[in-house]
Amino acid sequence: MAETEKTPAVEYSATAASSLINGEVKLSISERGLLIAAILDATELPFVEINELRFENYNVVVVADCGAFVFTRMGQWAERFYGELCAAYNEAVLRSLFIKGKPLVTAKGDYHYLEGGAGSSGQAPFFAYDNCVALLPPNLGARRIPLCFMHALDKGNFTLTLSLDTQESYTLAKLGYDTDPFEKCLEAQLRSLQEKAIILAKEIDPGLSSVQSTQIAKLTLEGKAAPLGALLAIAPSFVEALELEIAKTRAAEYYQAFKELCSPEGIWIGFRNNPAAADSEGEPEGGLAGMFGGAGGNPLAALGGAGGNPLAALGGLAQASDAGELSDSGDASESEPEPDKYLFFFIVPSPDGKFATIEFSEADSATFVYRTNNDFESFAQQLNRALEAISFKREVIRLSDEELAQPGNADYFMAAKRTASLQFVRGHFVGRAIHASPTAWKKKLLELWG
């Protein structure tokens, strides 16, 4: 068989009962969904529209947006079909949650979690990755639990409870002999995140003491923003150094405007190394390839492969043309600016705290504004949580429900269904201020702030 050929999907025979198709059918599973074919009829159930999979008395039940499908008379093949369907479904869920690479450790057991007062429980496999834990029941209860927001890891009788700053708690129970390996893996990854944050803090401000760098690192683990006032209380020199780096980015003018429009201490700042800057040092053609590569994955692959155009793959947020203006020497690449060393994002309160604004240093597109329900701090935590969950792909937090439901946004739609903070934030979107000009931007921002 040629290397480019794919193994044909296995077809399973079953009897279907549903509102769309009934009788004898052939079932085949792809990376996109489940194909159901009868003699004179066929339908495809995309994974984005499937909300639950169940195995009951050797029958397979698929609950989708369009209704339930029950597959019977599969005999000894029923369990195998269900297993393969769950595996493909979970791969789609992992992809939508921006989880890549192989897990560091796995386990299986019961789970229970609370998110903003709402809870869910059941049985599922658990997977630990470098910066998160994946909880994967075959339904809408699947969750990505980020380690950067975790403030407590409690161990019980074959039980682990992960508590987050965002008023969420996740309990993994009946872990058996997997309890200790899972706990040790999480502890190791938490230490790794802390060590990386300490190194970054000292890189920005080499004069920090060990105590200062450790305190700053706890507030600024990768993916997590911290109030400027909290950083000032630890080390004013660090904020000064941080602002020098911000001044080198596209966001410099907007950041200064924010400081004039609201209390600077209330601005939340998140930052991390820019993989594109490291790539450009070693490989001149690195571009912005690593900006949104996701946890543990290949950034270039996430943007269409190392041979593609990473800038174009960012969907117009950082446009670059292969046929751009030539320099005097005729070399288009010489006119391209060097990538920023650090990537920043800012969560900014309106003067009255009724609105929150999100700004990104690497995107010359727009500033997004949200209602806070008069509680900026709590909303900022939820907004930060939502952004981290979608690997800072900012278009997700402002797409309308109609746009999110488009086939091209299937992964985003699946993520929104399984991320409570993203649902919350999207429901509070007010509008955006385009970066047409500083004057027009400021005028629109003030209008949105009311």
User: For residue 335, what pLDDT is reported?
Assistant: 56
Please answer whether residues 445 and 369 qualify as being in contact, where contact means their C-beta atoms are separated by less than 8 angstroms: yes
Give the pLDDT confidence of 41-79 residue by residue, as tens digits.
999 999 999 999 999 999 999 999 999 999 999 999 999
Query: What pLDDT sits at residue 75?
Result: 94
**Radius of gyration of the chain measured on its C-alpha atoms:** 24
Tell me the average pLDDT across 243-265.
95
Classify the C-alpha dihedral 64-70-71-76 as positive or negative: positive
Q: Is the pLDDT of residue 312 over 90?
A: no
* pLDDT tens, residue by residue, 134-187: 999 999 999 999 999 999 999 999 999 999 999 999 999 999 999 999 999 999
Residue 281, H or E segment: helix 275-282
Q: Which residue has the higher pLDDT, 278 or 437?
A: 437
Run of H or E residues at 387: helix 376-389
- Domains of the chain, start order: 12-96 (2.30.29.30), 105-192 (2.30.29.30), 206-320+335-448 (no CATH)
Write the pLDDT tens digit of every residue in 175-214: 999 999 999 999 999 999 999 999 999 999 999 999 999 9
Closest to 400 measured CA to CA, from 369, 427, 378, 376: 427
* DSSP-derived secondary structure for 291-344: TT--BTS-HHHHTT-TTS-HHHHTTTTT---TT----TTS-GGGGSPPPPSEEE
Element (H, E) at 279: helix 275-282
Using CA atoms, how far residue 376 sits from 227, 233, 422, 434, 442, in Å, is 11, 20, 16, 23, 20
Predicted pLDDT of residue 316: 39
